[in-house]
Amino acid sequence: MKSIFKIALPLFIILTAFSCVDNNEIKKEIEKESAKVTACYDETALADPWFKPKVNDSILISNITKFLVNDSLTVYKIAISLDGQREACKAGFCKTGRRIKALIDRTDLIKIQKIGFYELK
């Protein structure tokens, strides 16, 4: 019986120590991810603050990234999707149906909202 405790107790201590390390790493990773947020902007025909006429998506993403970084925002990723609502009008402020999605620091959310972005929930 004593031999079981001699083996079981050190094994229990070692396993407990390793499980704490893993939990701390997981907790740090969750905290790091929760510090990021996705903000969306509904593209318009001509009224976007980074407006550049008739450019392809990669140049547009580059222009948007430069615009946001110049405004002191931390940008992790920019993507363009077609899941927005298109408005049937021809004015420059009409929505095209494309959405710009920016993965940013949560601390920059209020600042990016002033430009016209909103938080994707």
In this structure, are 26 and 62 located in the same domain? no
**DSSP state string for 25-42:** HHHHHHHHHHTEEEEEEE
In this structure, are 16 and 43 located in the same domain? no
Kindly give, in sequence order, each residue whose CB lies less than 8 Å from that of residue 42, ignoring residues fewer than 6 positions away.
Answer: 84, 85, 95, 98, 99
**55-111 per-position pLDDT tens digit:** 899 999 999 999 999 999 999 999 999 988 888 888 888 999 999 999 999 999 999
Looking at the 3D structure of the chain, how many domains does it have? 2
Task: State which residues form the domain around 40.
Answer: 35-119
Tokens of 102: 């920016």
Whether the Cβ atoms of residue 82 and residue 101 lie closer than 8 Å to each other:
no
Whether the Cβ atoms of residue 85 and residue 95 lie closer than 8 Å to each other:
yes
Sheet holding 75-81, edge to edge: 75-81, 95-105, 36-44, 118-119
**29-53 per-position pLDDT tens digit:** 655 667 899 999 999 988 899 877 7
- Does the pTM surpass 0.75? The reply is no
- The pLDDT of 11-27, averaged and rounded, is 58
In this structure, are 46 and 101 located in the same domain? yes
In this structure, are 42 and 30 located in the same domain? no
